[in-house]
Amino acid sequence: MRERDDDLSQCVEECEIAVTVNGNRHEHTVPVRLLLSDFLRHELHLTGTHVGCEQGVCGCCTVLFNGEAVRACLMFAVQADGMAITTIEGMAGVNSELHPIQQAFREKHGLQCGFCTPGIIMSVHAMLHEHPDPTEEEIRHELSGNLCRCTGYQNIVEAVKLAAERLRLQHMEVE
Amino acid sequence: MATRWFGAPVQRLEDPRLLRGRGNYVDDIDLPEMLHAAVLRSTQARARIVSIDASAAWSLPGVHLVLTAQDLGEVLEPSPLLVPHAALTQPRTQLPLARDTVRYVGEAVALVVADDRYIAEDALDLIDVEYESFPVVHSLEVASITDGPLVHDDVPGNVAAHLAQTVGDPDSVFASAPHVLHETLLIDRGAAMPMECRGIVARWDAQDSMLTCWISTQGPLPIRNGLAAIFHLPEHKVRVVAPDVGGGFGTKIMMFYPEEVLIPFVAMQLGRPVKWIEDRREHFISANQERSQLHEVEYAFDDAGILLAVRDTFLHDTGAYAPYGIIVPIITACTLPGPYRLRHYSSEFTVLYTNKVPVSPYRGAGRPQAVFVMERIMDRIASELHLDRLEVRARNFISPGEFPWDVGLVYQDGGPTKYDSGDYLAGLDKLKVLLDYDTFPALQAQARSEGRYLGIGVGAYVEGTGIGPYEGALVRVESDGRVFVSTGVTTQGQAHITTFAQIVADQLGIAPDDVMVSTGDTQAFNWGVGTYASRAATVAGSAIHIAAVKVREKAKMVAADLFEAAPEDIELADGKVFVRDAPHRALTLGQVAISSNPLRYAYGENARTLMSMKLAGPRPGPALPEERGGPGLEASGFYSPPHGSFASGIHGAIIEVDPVTCNVTFVKYAAVHDCGRVINPMVVEGQVHGGVAQGIGGAFFERLVYDEEGQIINASFMDYLLPTAAEVPSLLVDHVETPSPLNPLGVKGAGEAGVIPVPALFASAIDNALAPFGIRIREMPLHPSRLYELLRDAKDKPAL
């Protein structure tokens, strides 16, 4: 027991990290055990990333990590060193227009209490990047990594369909 | 009036903020110098605390305070009993920290305050508690053993309450009835599981003697009143705010959860803000739960399938304490008759303490259990008499001409269980259409010939909603013409900000966008109770309507003076106030607000234009005429319903059961719902969708499993499965609208409805699907492994 304590005392307790979040570079010294979710929320004050279970099940803390949807509660802040993260705050500015996914959620009543919403929008963002034209079954399958206790998912599914359609149209216009 | 907002699917005003991740939930609040708390919870379900050694925790760097029961002084008081009742002879509520005995795994034993949550949790590990454990009351069966273990040493037989109510003369009816049957039906524990756990931030401002608490709660006003009493502060020196709340579903209408006393207490002691955020594991073992009941029901019916009498006796598990008294079982007893013309009914229940998390209402609040019982009866009658299940229900429905219908029981609010309006047959007819009911037998036969097991199930219910005592609201037009509305009820996702704005917009001739609604801030509105019992739209909505009408009438009086016209000739539309025949010469609502405050100075564009208009000067006499009822374009309104209003509905589903894996999938789900007049159909349908999803969870996935030591063995989202998008079907929803005659809006509650009939229809559909096996479902929730056991033990087994 004592030996193990001694080993622990030699561990690094803090680390310097540099993370790009929503396009802004942040350099911080963080405890090595600090969760990425807590770093985003309490160090960077990006409180749109929510924490619902701290076990990687509910998906409320989903962020984009180099473009891929990950659970910020299952990662340490130090693992984000040198990486690029997008949170819900990176989807639309305070006064700028809502992102088409956000707009579709509003129009289809895809949120109620709003707690799971940021995580779901980040998951949907990653999903539609991978599969721009998903079937309802694919949408439901992809969404099954995010829990929502209010909506019964029906309007979320409808919102994803609408967002996918609009994003495809937008994409075609750009091309 | 240009537009009518009431009844329109107005997009939610709360969404742009929430969609941007700019909501303000309790854990988003970050105050300078804030410290963080963590709670040590009992690991034992029934034990004596022999000793607590916190010295190692105290000496951990970064720890500011370690608190046990003995440090609480006069704050060590049991929580108030929220709803006393004469039948509740042994009320017991919880202490903020356990003193010498713990009664459930998860009960708060000590509190640590530290620089951050990580250190606070480290310190919890350093607190050494020695327990002397005793045999655990881990089920209703154990609770009812004669001379068995006791949750509270001074409560014989663990009996908290016993209540019997009788309508008519069931005994004579049973004696002469053509058919009498009996069922034993069990409903097990589940929990609300809002996505946001509980949380509190408390700040004590010593200079101003002001305590401010942000709490993820459904009832900030009662908590404010309670905290003021506990800390000997005047009520205006305690502000409790429910900011954005990430779901509540009943579990957050509580007073007090221990932390709601402890966190303000330590913030005052330390003179620094303190935050406590419940984690999911804590939520599983310390946030209130519900549902567990064991029913023995006997029922009599005639050859035509008419239900003649019901005798229901049930045990209700209240957990280790009874903060809500016997509200849940009373609701069960009163909900059981449902939409049926039942004239002879006796209900008797016993409330038992167990060594489990305390029970308080969770969305549905005793109703899913009652509907499960009654709808099992209806299905059984149909099956005994070889009648169609919907036909049996239709024959027993109360007809539209029979309202108001007095069930004959005393409801949870102490008033009569008196249905105000309804048209149950209209709902059933709509359900048949949505389900394509008449073609189902052919579909089922076809599937069976292919070795597939389809089943159809239905569940009908009546839901008491919108109970008193009262709610209130303030409506005030500001000088820029926007309208501020504040009320004591809170919102946890039900879109109150939007629906309340719709109510006001119609009265004042403005758009909902121009209405700013504040809910759940005790400094913004001083009176009210909270959001529960599907009552916010009914009770607070009516109060808001009443206040808005007063403001409209006041605007007319003020404008009439300025225009030298009669108040009845003044109109309000598109943000303007004008004489009916002269709309070109209009005041803005903001200008009327400025004129309602007879000062000699005012600012802003509205005031400047007002000065330039050639309007009548003040009348002789007092600057503020008596009939205006005070300065400003504002008014308060209160609404107190005579008794609850009764919403209703009928749901049906077609399911497919895989007899090998015992998985159940929904082929179709239809819900017909009557919540009186609908303020916002988009919102109401959203409430139904969400309720049904919770109902599906409660029927198939969500069972809290306590072992014999009283440990919940599935206390995580990995083991207690909430339904996901892959399991919940899309619903077909239709409405019946029978306005409530009890309130000025004609509305009834909609919040809980969706969840109520789901276990009943799930059982009904499984019975139907597995009829070849002779399966009859008598318990809920029914997860696949339990269904597997039932199939394994089934007498009839067709070849699979």
Return d(Cα A89, Cα A91) in angstroms, integer. 6
Nearest-CA neighbor of B548 among B475, B472, B485, B487?
B475
Which of B639, B673, B688 is at the close of a domain? B639
Nearest-CA neighbor of B198 among B269, B148, B257?
B257
When pLDDT is cut at 50, 70 and 90, the band that residue B7 belongs to is very high
H or E element that contains B121: helix B117-126
Structure-token match 């720890």, residue found: B63
When pLDDT is cut at 50, 70 and 90, the band that residue B62 belongs to is very high
Q: What is the pLDDT, as a whole number, of residue B622?
A: 87
> What pairing do the DSSP bridges indicate for beta strands B416-419 and B405-410?
antiparallel
Mean pLDDT on B361-382: 97
Whether residue B650 sits in one domain with residue B713:
yes
Return d(Cα B591, Cα B563) in angstroms, integer. 13
Contacts of B733 in chain A (CB under 8 A): none
For B741-761, give the secondary structure using H, E and C: CCCCCCECCCCCHHHCCHHHH
Mean pLDDT on B705-727: 97
Structure-token match 């919108």, residue found: B466
* Residue B356 included in any domain: no
Contact with chain B for residue A165, Cβ under 8 A: no
Nearest-CA neighbor of B537 among B678, B381, B336, B424?
B678
Cis? peptide before B32, omega within 30° of 0: no
Using DSSP's 3-state secondary structure scheme, residue A18 falls into strand
Whether residue B281 sits in one domain with residue B423:
no
Return d(Cα B314, Cα B87) in angstroms, integer. 15
Contact with chain A for residue B442, Cβ under 8 A: no
Return d(Cα B40, Cα B76) in angstroms, integer. 17
* B194 to A113: CB separation less than 8 angstroms, yes or no: yes
Q: What is the pLDDT, as a whole number, of residue B799?
A: 62
Whether residue B607 sits in one domain with residue B482:
yes
Shortest CA distance from A145: residue in chain B? B724
* Residue B572 included in any domain: yes
Shortest CA distance from B490: residue in chain A? A113
When pLDDT is cut at 50, 70 and 90, the band that residue B600 belongs to is low
Give the model confidence (pLDDT) of B439-461 as tens digits. 999 999 999 999 999 999 999 99
Whether residue B222 sits in one domain with residue B105:
yes
Contact with chain A for residue B195, Cβ under 8 A: yes
Domains of chain A are 2-90 (3.10.20.30), 100-174 (1.10.150.120)
Give percent of chain B with pLDDT exceeding 70. Answer: 99
Residue B462 CA to chain centroid, in angstroms?
Answer: 16
Taking only residues 106 to 145 of chain A, the set having a beta carbon closer than 8 angstroms to any beta carbon of chain B reads 106-107, 109, 111-118, 121, 139-141, 143-145
Return d(Cα B178, Cα B407) in angstroms, integer. 24
> What pairing do the DSSP bridges indicate for beta strands B293-301 and B732-735?
unpaired
Contacts of B197 in chain A (CB under 8 A): 52
Give residue B112's identity as a one-letter amino acid code: V
**Does B113 have pLDDT greater than 80?**
yes
Longest dimension (CA), chain B: 95
> What pairing do the DSSP bridges indicate for beta strands A14-21 and A84-86?
parallel
Give the model confidence (pLDDT) of B90-104 as tens digits. 999 999 999 999 999
Which of B598, B614, B639 is at the close of a domain? B639
CATH number of the domain bearing residue B627:
3.30.365.10
**Does A150 have pLDDT greater than 90?**
yes
Mean pLDDT on B614-638: 88
Average pLDDT for chain B? 95
Return d(Cα B799, Cα B27) in angstroms, integer. 56
Which of B230, B258, B286 is at the close of a domain? B286
When pLDDT is cut at 50, 70 and 90, the band that residue B795 belongs to is confident
DSSP, residue by residue, B663-717? -EEEEEEEEEEE-BS-S-HHHHHHHHHHHHHHHHIIIII----B-TTS-BTT-ST
For A118-131, give the secondary structure using H, E and C: HHHHHHHHHHHHHC
- Measured CA to CA in angstroms, residue B310 lies from B327, B426, B462 at distances of 21, 25, 17
- Among B683, B724, B730, the residue with its CB nearest the CB of A154 is B730
Give the model confidence (pLDDT) of A109-142 as tens digits. 999 999 999 999 999 999 999 999 999 999 999 9
Q: What is the pLDDT, as a whole number, of residue B605?
A: 84
Contacts of A105 in chain B (CB under 8 A): 15, 19
Environment class of A1 (CB within 10 Å of its CB; exposed 0-12, middle 13-18, buried 19+): exposed
Q: How many CA atoms lie less than 13 Å away from B783 in the CB half-sphere?
A: 15
Using DSSP's 3-state secondary structure scheme, residue B173 falls into helix
Contact with chain A for residue B718, Cβ under 8 A: yes
* Residue B348 included in any domain: no
**Does A1 have pLDDT greater than 50?**
no
Nearest-CA neighbor of B376 among B296, B304, B289, B465?
B296
Q: What is the pLDDT, as a whole number, of residue A172?
A: 86
* Residue B751 included in any domain: yes
Close Cβ partners of A95 (under 8 Å, ≥ 6 residues apart): none
* Residue B262 included in any domain: yes
When pLDDT is cut at 50, 70 and 90, the band that residue A11 belongs to is low
Nearest-CA neighbor of B117 among A57, A34, A15, A30?
A34
Q: Predicted ipTM? A: 0.96
Q: Can you give the length of chain A in residues?
A: 175
Dihedral Cα B523, B526, B529, B532, nearest 10 deg: -40
* A50 to B246: CB separation less than 8 angstroms, yes or no: yes
Give the model confidence (pLDDT) of A63-97 as tens digits. 999 999 999 999 999 999 999 999 999 998 767 89
* B731 to A154: CB separation less than 8 angstroms, yes or no: yes
Dihedral Cα B31, B59, B66, B271, nearest 10 deg: -40
Q: What is the pLDDT, as a whole number, of residue B381?
A: 98
- Out of B241-255, B360-374, B571-585, B781-795, pick the least confident: B781-795
- Among A106, A115, A150, the residue with its CB nearest the CB of B19 is A106
* B689 to A157: CB separation less than 8 angstroms, yes or no: no
* Residue B725 included in any domain: yes
Token pair recorded at residue B338: 């449902």
Return d(Cα B275, Cα A42) in angstroms, integer. 12
Whether residue B586 sits in one domain with residue B513:
yes
Give the model confidence (pLDDT) of B321-354 as tens digits. 999 999 999 999 999 999 999 999 999 999 999 9
* Residue B690 included in any domain: yes
Q: What is the pLDDT, as a whole number, of residue A9?
A: 54
H or E element that contains B371: helix B367-385
CA distance B687 to chain A (A): 7
**Does B223 have pLDDT greater than 90?**
yes
Contacts of B727 in chain A (CB under 8 A): 144
Shortest CA distance from A158: residue in chain B? B730
- Out of A127-141, B173-187, B599-613, B663-677, pick the least confident: B599-613
Q: What is the pLDDT, as a whole number, of residue A3?
A: 46
Whether residue B630 sits in one domain with residue B503:
yes
Q: How many CA atoms lie less than 13 Å away from B167 in the CB half-sphere?
A: 22
Contact with chain A for residue B282, Cβ under 8 A: no
Return d(Cα B57, Cα B246) in angstroms, integer. 32
Shortest CA distance from B197: residue in chain A? A52
| Number of domains present in the structure of chain B | 3
Using DSSP's 3-state secondary structure scheme, residue B537 falls into helix
CA distance B762 to chain A (A): 17
Contact with chain B for residue A87, Cβ under 8 A: yes
Whether residue B531 sits in one domain with residue B479:
yes
Mean pLDDT on B100-128: 98
Residue B502: phi and psi, rounded to 5, are -60, -40
Whether residue B649 sits in one domain with residue B586:
no
Structure-token match 């998912």, residue found: A153
Shortest CA distance from B279: residue in chain A? A53
* B692 to A152: CB separation less than 8 angstroms, yes or no: yes
Using DSSP's 3-state secondary structure scheme, residue B523 falls into coil
Whether residue B658 sits in one domain with residue B619:
no
Whether residue B566 sits in one domain with residue B498:
yes
When pLDDT is cut at 50, 70 and 90, the band that residue A4 belongs to is very low
Contact with chain B for residue A61, Cβ under 8 A: no
Strand partners, B315: B294, B350
Mean pLDDT on B24-46: 98
Shortest CA distance from B247: residue in chain A? A113
Cis? peptide before B781, omega within 30° of 0: yes
- Which domain covers residue B772, as residue numbers? 397-465+642-800
When pLDDT is cut at 50, 70 and 90, the band that residue A2 belongs to is very low
Contact with chain B for residue A102, Cβ under 8 A: yes
Angle between helices A117-130 and A100-107 (to 10 degrees): 120
Q: Which among A109, A138, A155, A157 is the top mutation candidate for probing chain B, defined by the most B β-carbons within 10 Å of its own β-carbon?
A: A109
Return d(Cα B156, Cα B375) in angstroms, integer. 34
Structure-token match 């499993």, residue found: B705
CA dihedral for B430, B435, B436, B437, sign (positive or negative): negative
Using DSSP's 3-state secondary structure scheme, residue A137 falls into helix
CA distance B731 to chain A (A): 8
Q: What is the pLDDT, as a whole number, of residue B222?
A: 95
Q: What is the pLDDT, as a whole number, of residue A94?
A: 67
Contacts of B15 in chain A (CB under 8 A): 105-106, 111, 114
Give the model confidence (pLDDT) of B566-590 as tens digits. 999 999 999 999 999 999 999 999 9
- Measured CA to CA in angstroms, residue B476 lies from B20, B319, B486, B553, B637 at distances of 29, 45, 9, 13, 11
Q: What is the pLDDT, as a whole number, of residue B606?
A: 84
Return d(Cα B90, Cα A5) in angstroms, integer. 51
With contact defined as beta carbons under 8 Å apart, do B57 and B129 qualify? no
Q: What is the pLDDT, as a whole number, of residue B52?
A: 98
When pLDDT is cut at 50, 70 and 90, the band that residue B534 belongs to is confident
* A149 to B690: CB separation less than 8 angstroms, yes or no: yes
Q: What is the pLDDT, as a whole number, of residue B198?
A: 98
* Residue B322 included in any domain: no
Whether residue B748 sits in one domain with residue B617:
no
CA distance B289 to chain A (A): 16
Comparing A60 with B468, which gets the higher pLDDT? A60
Whether residue B243 sits in one domain with residue B128:
yes
Q: What is the pLDDT, as a whole number, of residue B210?
A: 98
Taking only residues 575 to 614 of chain B, the set having a beta carbon closer than 8 angstroms to any beta carbon of chain A reads none
